[in-house]
Structure 1
Amino acid sequence: MMKSLRKSASGFGVKLLLGVVVVAFVVTGFSSFFTGGTSGTVISAGETEVSTQDYLLAFRRAENALAQRVQRRPTREDIEGAGIESQVVAQLASEAVLDEQGRRIGLGLSEDRLARLIADDPSFHDAAGNFSRAVFSDVLRSVGMREADFIRNRQDAAIRSQIVEAIADGVTAPALIKTAFGLYNGERRTVEYLTFAPALVEPIADPAADVLTRYFEPNKARYRAPEYRSVAYALLTPEAISDPSAVTDEAIAADYAKSGQRYVTPERRRVQQIVFADRAAADAAKAALDGGELFEQAVVKSGRTIEDTQLGLLAKSEIPDASIADAAFALAPNAVSPVVEGAFGPVILRVTEVQPETRQPLEAVRDEIRTALALEAAGGATQQVFDAFEDARAGGQTFTEAAKAAGLEVTTIPAVTLNGLDAADQPVADLPPAPEFLRSVFTAEAEVENLPINVASGGSLFYEVTKIDPARDRTLDEARERVLADWKAEETERLLAERIAPLKARLDAGETIDQVAASQQLEKGVASALSRQTAPTEIGREAAVAAFAGPSGLVATAPAKDGRSKLLLKVTSVAAAADPAANVPPQQVEQLDSLLENDFLQSYVGELQNLYPVSRYPQAIEQARTLIR
């Protein structure tokens, strides 16, 4: 909450505004986004009202943040799963009481300060880096936002910022809390342990039929078959319909002659430069070089190192200063240039390496050109193929017949789950390149025509569900192999536990690990100086949790790192952190401070909500949500 309120209060930057509004435009159109057919109030606190427009902007901010986390545009399921709608309402309610408090106590913002906030925003700067009234107007006009609405938003945010900073800024966690975390993080333990591998009790004989049946019956849900669907699909992309064999050698040669520069690697030179403060210093250095002084000596005399002179191995186009580029590419290898007037002062250049321009011959790129030309031709034909498929379906042809008539290849998946697994619980290898394919397949009806799915390459994916096998319980015969493996694994675990139990009792009674190890002909393991951070790496996560679950002398059992063996362990020493503060990393300190700030602000907002009761208007909120959906 603290984080989101800080972002809100710190100002509604134009870059974020542009992103929010443009996304809204894509979904709803500018007119509906800013008017939405309603100017209603969704939330109020005292005399402060939160409009539908405010709700839409806040929702888009939250949606954009979710998109950054999931690295794609969020689906409706993503938004509902993250609880975005309820979070936005809670956020706006908090902002409303802060705004109302600012109004009640007379907080304000001078026109000069507000103007400075807007003028400092680089989104409104011209090419010279200065605020431009024309740019400001153009930006707001481009997103369909009124100047008054933008200014009000910035003003409200700046006033909220004053309250937020006054309440929570500079709050830090007490040293006592940081010390407690340091002691927790920095505690070191030594653990002695014995490893009991499955081989100590294996092999496990197959059980009698009735034993396996008694095991299977109460666990049959574990082996339940999920819903499977059979589906046929045809992918329409330039790649899918291109025909490289139709591209002639003459066309390839013509393209190479026309666009051959694409296959040229330009000349590159490793350039060094000495930059001088003025022309006199540069001329003096050049005279010394002409008199036999080494370039390296001139570098030292200029107060620089040879590393300072390196521009790198560059093509001429990669050197931004045209004068230096021309001079560098006119030099012979290891020659020194005359004084060159560069953009940042006079310079002397040296070229130490030259990589000549190279050109790939036609034969080396023939196949590449053939593929590119075929794709180019196919790109212009995709609409005709699309129409041919749709016309064939409209004419009553089956999915397969329509695909054949359009020249598309049909791929059939006999059985697939919503998670992309086949009937053998293996990933289906030939799924099409469309993330929403399986979700669409599992919402479709069998043998019903579906809308095609857009794919990333600009093509279309046609599909038809041909069969639906509902989820069901498998019989023991169908699941026998898995059931038998699971029974043996549990039997192995039971036998290991039976073997370990009396040995643990001996340790609890005071015997040492060495004594128990000798009686069982096992080798003792020792893990020293374990912390809560390092223990999982050495003895496994579950054993680490067990090792830190009690005081020195603790005896415990836990799974080993391999997931099959068991450990019998004893904590033989516990050492407190010598320097607790050194065991609290900076990011944890920041988290502690942030949590405390959040507590302060939440408490304050809670008191404000008691002082200024918040009213929510469900009908207006639902209208706003309708605009988004």
Structure 2
Amino acid sequence: MAESIGGKIRNVLVGILIGMLVLAFAVWGVNDMFTPGARNAVATVGDTEISTAEFDTLFSRELERINSERPESLTNQQAYDQGLQNQVLQGMITNAVVKIDADDLGVGVNQSIARREIENIPAFQNELTGKFDENKLNQALNRARITREQFENDTLSSLRSQQTIPAITGGLVAPADYAALQYKFLTEQRRASVLTLSQNAVAEPEIPSDEVLKSYIDDNAARYMAPEYRRFSLIRVEPFDYTEDLEIEPEQVKESFDYRVSTGTIGSPETRSVALITTADEETAKEAVAQLQTGTEPELVASSLGLDAPDVYENVRRNGLVDPATSTAAFELSKGDARAVLGGLGSWNAVYVQDITPAVVPDFEASKDEIEQELLEAKALDAIYDLTADIEDARLDNLPLIEIAEQVNVPMSEYPFVDRRGTTQDGIRMGGFSAIPGIAADDKILRTLFTSDLGYETDLFETSTGGYAMIRVDDIIDSTMRPFEEVREQALTAYQNQQRSDALRSKATELTQRVRDGESLQALKDELGEAADISQTGLVRTNPPQFLGPQVTVGLFDGRVGDVVRGPGPDQMTQQIAKLESITASQDGLAGTYLDVLQQQATSAISNDIQNAYQSAIIKKNPVQQYPNQIRSVLGLTTEN
């Protein structure tokens, strides 16, 4: 009895405790604790979560990339409305699928391999030494706003994908018969009659009244707006600001020249063609050498001694052979000479130099100025990188632009009102000079200027010439409608051209129906006189005619014999009507390069289909669950019910 009462009390207490916890979770917003899905995930693939933090990072990175290429920045809401979140999420789901399969297959790549891959990327290697440069990597990551850990993880993921995907599609080759059918499709001959109408086929439009023209201008306001102008302040540091004050020692230039020659960056190093005959003992190796020195071909020497065929290395560089002793001997011998060498693995080799291609060394005097300039620019970039660190520190202290300029000892320039092309209100384009480009020559500066808010001081960003800049927008003159008298002639021309185009399209539509009803193109040509032209043409998909409009070309390739198609001609103010007269299948056989190319294209298409099926199969085993409200919450958008 006592145990029963004690059990009931415990049950009541547990119920109260759970109720208090649920209430607490509700008060603090933790209302997903007992609902499906994870609060810190925007999607799941099976048991794999795609975290909100990772999604936020990738979405922001992609949006920043898109905005860097646009005259006006997209907000999160605008990007969401255009479906950017779906593109980002789909890429993350695909990566999750590859990861799941790589885990199932036991594909592994450790972090050290990823780091070695990064160190071998040419963009991160020092121009002088040719070795990995930590500063270059950090500069690139800083520009891309990516942490070292993120970059290494991305590299790791890419390496795993490179091992997983080829395992699915490796060895795939499309059948030659499939390529032959594709070839016949691409090379079939089509013939058509084409009637081209000029603007003379329709009456000249009437001159509109000012009221009609004003209404047309209102309907097409964007064409007749004065540009937006912005006045701004700018901090800018560029390599050309520093190269004149820097010096490179002559020894450094010569050292860089020698290194470039040795690596083949300039000129070309000596190469040799070498034959190696592997033997079991020194005596046999020396006998092979004796025969080689008489001019006997290496293959015949190996055959006469009952040895395996020689290994032949064409145009190898110094130290290009795997065995150091063999490689050294190969570059000590003269052409046609041979030597017996004990290899590192204990076997004897008869080393024979078949040919020598001498090194091509460029003239140092002719190259030194260019090399010196490159070294100066690299040194200037290092100086700029150190300076940008100071600017970033000052920026973190929330100093205004003028104080940042004073603290880091760089000039702050104040610019007059300019438009998006870098042209002032007086029509002066601020292009600068070839050696010192102005803002009009740097679209990154102009794009940042016209995507920033009034009074806003931007983050440090990279310019088109490899420098860095910060901008503050000081004033804005909004875009306004130009006065009617200023745009009247421009609008009149556009209005009449539209009237001509509409009338010509209507005329062509009417004539097309007449051809479909049985009239010939020649009869229409006779009716229209010099306002039309008729021609015969042949069409092949691999080389479509240039004098046909795209819409007409597609219609003729998709049509059957007797079909009539219409569309704009390739020239302005023209319309074309075409009738497909015949289709003749190609009788040519497929072989050689054409067969290889078409097989590769077909193989690529089949490979894509297999990869899609592979992804679908994994998703079937690991269902995808997306959480749209989580996505909207991450992006700071109102949650939809």
What TM-score results when the alignment is normalised by the length of structure 2? 0.56
For residue 52 of structure 1, the aligned residue among 35, 40, 60 is: 40
Equivalent residue number for residue 277 of structure 2: 276
Give per-residue Cα distances to partners, 1:396-434, cap 9 Å, x unaligned.
Answer: 9996996899453737474334x9898899998735768
Amino acid across the alignment from 2:413: V
Q: Determine the C-alpha separation between the residues in 2 that align with 1:55 and 1:67.
A: 20
Structure 1 residue 408 corresponds to structure 2 residue 396: no
Q: Determine the C-alpha separation between the residues in 1 that align with 2:298 and 2:112.
A: 44
Amino acid across the alignment from 2:216: F
TM-fit CA distance, 1:117: 5.1
TM-aligned CA distance change 1:259 to 1:241, over 3 Å? same
Give per-residue Cα distances to partners, 1:454-488, cap 9 Å, x unaligned.
Answer: 32798641223243122333333333454244234
Structure 1 residue 560 corresponds to structure 2 residue 557: no
TM-aligned CA distance change 1:44 to 1:350, over 3 Å? farther
| C-alpha contact 1:190 1:574 (8 A) present in aligned 2 | yes
Q: Determine the C-alpha separation between the residues in 2 that align with 1:399 and 1:558.
A: 59
| C-alpha contact 2:278 2:307 (8 A) present in aligned 1 | no
Amino acid across the alignment from 2:331: F
Amino acid across the alignment from 1:52: N
Give per-residue Cα distances to partners, 1:50-90, cap 9 Å, x unaligned.
Answer: 46365444873797699799989999859744443798599
Structure 1 residue 467 corresponds to structure 2 residue 454: no
Give per-residue Cα distances to partners, 1:492-538, cap 9 Å, x unaligned.
Answer: 4255457656754552442323444455366533344666x876867
State how many pairs are aligned.
498
Equivalent residue number for residue 219 of structure 1: 219
Structure 1 residue 336 corresponds to structure 2 residue 324: no
Equivalent residue number for residue 286 of structure 1: 289
For residue 526 of structure 1, the aligned residue among 529, 536, 544 is: 536
Identity of aligned residues (%): 11
| C-alpha contact 2:456 2:472 (8 A) present in aligned 1 | yes
Q: Determine the C-alpha separation between the residues in 2 that align with 1:229 and 1:376.
A: 37
Q: Determine the C-alpha separation between the residues in 2 that align with 1:182 and 1:463.
A: 56
1:89-128 matches, within 5 Å, as: 118=106, 120-123=107-110
Equivalent residue number for residue 462 of structure 2: 455
TM-aligned CA distance change 1:90 to 1:200, over 3 Å? closer
Structure 1 residue 244 corresponds to structure 2 residue 244: yes
Q: Determine the C-alpha separation between the residues in 2 that align with 1:601 and 1:126.
A: 27
| C-alpha contact 1:220 1:473 (8 A) present in aligned 2 | no
Q: Determine the C-alpha separation between the residues in 2 that align with 1:363 and 1:185.
A: 52
Q: Determine the C-alpha separation between the residues in 2 that align with 1:186 and 1:363.
A: 52
Give per-residue Cα distances to partners, 1:161-205, cap 9 Å, x unaligned.
Answer: xxxx9xxxxxxxxxxxxxxx9999999854311122447779x79
For residue 327 of structure 1, the aligned residue among 326, 329, 333 is: 329
Structure 1 residue 478 corresponds to structure 2 residue 457: no
Give per-residue Cα distances to partners, 1:113-147, cap 9 Å, x unaligned.
Answer: 999855x52438999xxxxxxxxxxxxxx989xxx
TM-fit CA distance, 1:559: 0.5
For residue 548 of structure 2, the aligned residue among 534, 539, 542 is: 539
Q: Determine the C-alpha separation between the residues in 2 that align with 1:615 and 1:396.
A: 43
Q: Determine the C-alpha separation between the residues in 2 that align with 1:360 and 1:615.
A: 63
| C-alpha contact 2:235 2:405 (8 A) present in aligned 1 | no
For residue 312 of structure 1, the aligned residue among 311, 315, 321 is: 315
TM-aligned CA distance change 1:439 to 1:378, over 3 Å? closer
Q: Determine the C-alpha separation between the residues in 2 that align with 1:299 and 1:52.
A: 69
Q: For 2:194, what is the secondary structure of its paired residue? A: strand
Equivalent residue number for residue 510 of structure 1: 518
Q: Determine the C-alpha separation between the residues in 2 that align with 1:525 and 1:232.
A: 59
Equivalent residue number for residue 571 of structure 1: 580
Q: Determine the C-alpha separation between the residues in 2 that align with 1:237 and 1:364.
A: 28
What TM-score results when the alignment is normalised by the length of structure 1? 0.57
RMSD: 6.3
Equivalent residue number for residue 129 of structure 2: none
TM-aligned CA distance change 1:185 to 1:597, over 3 Å? farther
| C-alpha contact 1:234 1:403 (8 A) present in aligned 2 | no
Q: For 2:491, what is the secondary structure of its paired residue? A: helix
Q: For 2:339, what is the secondary structure of its paired residue? A: coil
1:31-42 matches, within 5 Å, as: none
| C-alpha contact 2:230 2:475 (8 A) present in aligned 1 | yes
For residue 349 of structure 1, the aligned residue among 341, 349, 352 is: 352
Q: For 1:244, what is the secondary structure of its paired residue? A: helix
Equivalent residue number for residue 493 of structure 1: 501
Q: Determine the C-alpha separation between the residues in 1 that align with 2:260 and 2:611.
A: 55
| C-alpha contact 1:272 1:350 (8 A) present in aligned 2 | yes
Amino acid across the alignment from 1:84: Q
TM-fit CA distance, 1:318: 4.4
TM-fit CA distance, 1:239: 0.9
TM-fit CA distance, 1:244: 1.8
Q: Determine the C-alpha separation between the residues in 2 that align with 1:201 and 1:462.
A: 56
Q: For 2:487, what is the secondary structure of its paired residue? A: helix
TM-fit CA distance, 1:350: 1.0
TM-aligned CA distance change 1:438 to 1:126, over 3 Å? closer
User: Could you list the runs of 5+ residues in structure 2 that have no partner in the other structure?
Assistant: 1-27, 42-47, 69-73, 115-147, 151-167, 169-181, 432-437, 588-597, 637-641
Q: Determine the C-alpha separation between the residues in 2 that align with 1:507 and 1:623.
A: 59
Q: For 1:461, what is the secondary structure of its paired residue? A: strand
Q: Determine the C-alpha separation between the residues in 2 that align with 1:481 and 1:605.
A: 66
Q: Determine the C-alpha separation between the residues in 2 that align with 1:560 and 1:473.
A: 34
Equivalent residue number for residue 175 of structure 1: none
